[in-house]
Amino acid sequence: MEAEVRPMPKFDYVAPSSLTDALKLLHDHQERARVLAGGTDLLVRLKKRLASAEMIVDLNGISELSYIEPVGDRLHIGALTRLARIKESPIVTQRASALAQAISVMASPPIRNRGTIGGNVCNSSPAADTAPSLLVLDASVKLQRLDGERIVPVSQFFVGPEENVARADEILTEVIIPLQEGNTAVVKLGRRKAFTLSVVSAAAYAEAHDGKFGEIRLALGAVAPTPIRCLKVEEALRGQDVTEKVIEKAAELVRGEIKPITDVRASAEYRREMSYILTKRVLEKVALGGNNANKIHIE
Amino acid sequence: MRIRFTLNDGIVEEEVHPHETLLDFLRNRVRVTSVKKGCDEGACGTCTVLFHGKPVRSCLLLAVQANGAEITTVEGLAKRGELNVIQEAFLEKYGFQCGFCTPGMILTTKALLDENPDPTVEDIKDAFEGNLCRCTGYEQIIESVLRAAEMRRG
């Protein structure tokens, strides 16, 4: 986002107090309406003229969209739940730890106090900080419209930079995460230590039994048009011994799964090299028991 | 659109435009000029206000979203002409030079100490990730926060 900040453009504003009212507004106004959640991304994009809106539908008055609730073997997180609250939630830190880890290295505390999980997913940045963790947790999202709803796995939600499968009359209302017992780890590489966009980010989930990898999932951000799962690396690890050598060899395969670009933050070549390094590190961390996040920066 | 909210010890009731940011509203309409306009895109922290006690960016809130809220700015900290201990600590430890970032730094300190009365240097660094200072190199700010914590604990 290198465009210049200008005064906020004019728009109409509505703040429905129920989800049904919000869905009706989207149904009636379709592409003319833009949903506002935390505003930490959309309002900046509006000021920079990278987004436009004739009508803002502000969801912040809809308290029914803010919750963290375990139901059976799944955790349901309302789309309007603030990132700061998710990071501090005991059930998230214990049973969906990758998400809390990802949030802990994301943006800055004031942004996390306002930004929401639904907003971060819906912006669909290739570098979206929560995306790799949601991918390795095998999360899904619920998309609601006036006359129905559908559940979409996060792995099928993103279709390109800032693009996803949600239609103009749909609202992402919930993130659903299976509660799991394995270890998770997150590593984020940025240009500086704090408050920075990812150059490359990686998340991993792993279960190990008798020294062998069982279920294993790896995802990367900022190295392809969308955040991606790295299925070839996962395949090369499943059932194999948990050793440095196995990890190193499997991590090599990540080069074939990514499509990095050159931008102001890094070159494609650098991102490719760092994808390998971060893959190796995140796998080593997760194999050793992990369950924390590492922020590293370019020296 | 008409909004009404609590600002420090008073009530603000005004007509606002839907596209007016809370930052512009506070500075230009309410004349609360301690809230600074730095980057206007959420990066620098000079427009920090406490929104229900938590630090947020007033440049990334619409004025209409303040309706019903409780907002604190630095003007709400000094009472009866007496500086708040956080302000005293920043004075004592030279936690500022040009002063542009200082209101945001002081409010961020208040939110941190309200939640964590005895922060470590690491806690302070984490809490101030979103507040830029171009004068001090941050060392004196960290010392000011530690001193404020000490003074508040008595």
Q: How would you write the pLDDT of chain A (299 residues) with one tens digit per residue?
A: 468 999 999 999 999 999 999 999 999 999 999 999 999 999 999 999 999 999 999 999 999 999 999 999 999 999 999 999 999 999 999 999 999 999 999 999 999 999 999 999 999 999 999 999 999 999 999 999 999 999 999 999 999 999 999 999 999 999 999 999 899 999 999 887 767 888 999 999 999 989 999 999 999 999 999 999 999 999 999 999 999 999 999 999 999 999 999 988 899 999 999 999 999 999 999 998 766 667 677 65
Per-position DSSP letters for A89-156, written without gaps between them: -HHHHHHSHHHHHHHHTSS-HHHHHH-BHHHHHHH--TT-TTHHHHHHTT-EEEEEETTEEEEEEGGG
The per-residue pLDDT for A1 is: 46
Are residues A13 and B19, on separate chains, in Cβ contact within 8 Å? Answer: yes
Contact list, A39 vs chain B (CB under 8 Å)? 60-62, 65
Are residues A107 and B130, on separate chains, in Cβ contact within 8 Å? Answer: yes
Instruction: Give the pair of three-digit tokens for residue A73.
Output: 């073997």
Q: How many CB atoms lie within 10 A of CB B50?
A: 24
Predicted model pTM: 0.94
Same domain membership, residue A227 and residue A142 = no
Same domain membership, residue A164 and residue A90 = yes
- To test the contact with chain B by mutation, choose from A8, A12, A48, A54 the residue with the greatest count of B C-beta atoms within 10 A, namely A8
Same domain membership, residue B123 and residue B63 = no
Query: Stretch B34-50: mean pLDDT, rounded?
Result: 97
B51, B76, B101: which is the final residue of a domain? B76
Same domain membership, residue B89 and residue B64 = no
How far is residue A169's CA from residue B102's CA, in Å, rounded to a whole number? Answer: 44
Same domain membership, residue B60 and residue B108 = no
A162, A178, A194: which is the final residue of a domain? A178
Same domain membership, residue B25 and residue B72 = yes
CATH of the domain at B38: 3.10.20.30
A178, A213, A244: which is the final residue of a domain? A178
Same domain membership, residue B144 and residue B94 = yes
Residue A4, domain member (yes or no): no
The per-residue pLDDT for A264 is: 85
Give me the number of domains chain A comprises: 3
What is this model's ipTM?
0.94
Q: How many CB atoms lie within 10 A of CB A183?
A: 20
Residue range(s) defining the domain that contains residue B123: 85-153
Same domain membership, residue B6 and residue B66 = yes
A155, A178, A201: which is the final residue of a domain? A178
How far is residue A176's CA from residue A158's CA, in Å, rounded to a whole number? Answer: 16
State pLDDT tens for residues B44-101. 999 999 999 999 999 999 999 999 999 999 999 999 889 999 999 999 999 999 999 9
The per-residue pLDDT for A293 is: 67
Residue A145 sits at the chain B interface (C-beta within 8 Å):
no
- To test the contact with chain B by mutation, choose from A63, A114, A116, A123 the residue with the greatest count of B C-beta atoms within 10 A, namely A114
How far is residue B16's CA from residue A13's CA, in Å, rounded to a whole number? Answer: 11
Contact list, A56 vs chain B (CB under 8 Å)? 18, 62
Contact list, B19 vs chain A (CB under 8 Å)? 8-11, 13
CA-based nearest distance A133→chain B, Å: 21
Residues 80-139 of A with CB under 8 A from B: 84, 107-111, 113-114
Same domain membership, residue A200 and residue A161 = no
Same domain membership, residue B69 and residue B6 = yes
Contact list, B37 vs chain A (CB under 8 Å)? none
Same domain membership, residue B58 and residue B11 = yes
Which residues of B make CB contacts under 8 Å with A?
Answer: 1, 17-21, 39-43, 45, 48, 51, 54-57, 59-62, 64-65, 108, 125-127, 129-131
Residue range(s) defining the domain that contains residue A218: 183-297
CATH of the domain at A266: 3.30.390.50
A115, with CB counted inside 10 A (0-12, 13-18, 19+), is buried
Give me the number of domains chain B comprises: 2
Query: Stretch B20-38: mean pLDDT, rounded?
Result: 97
Same domain membership, residue A171 and residue A154 = yes
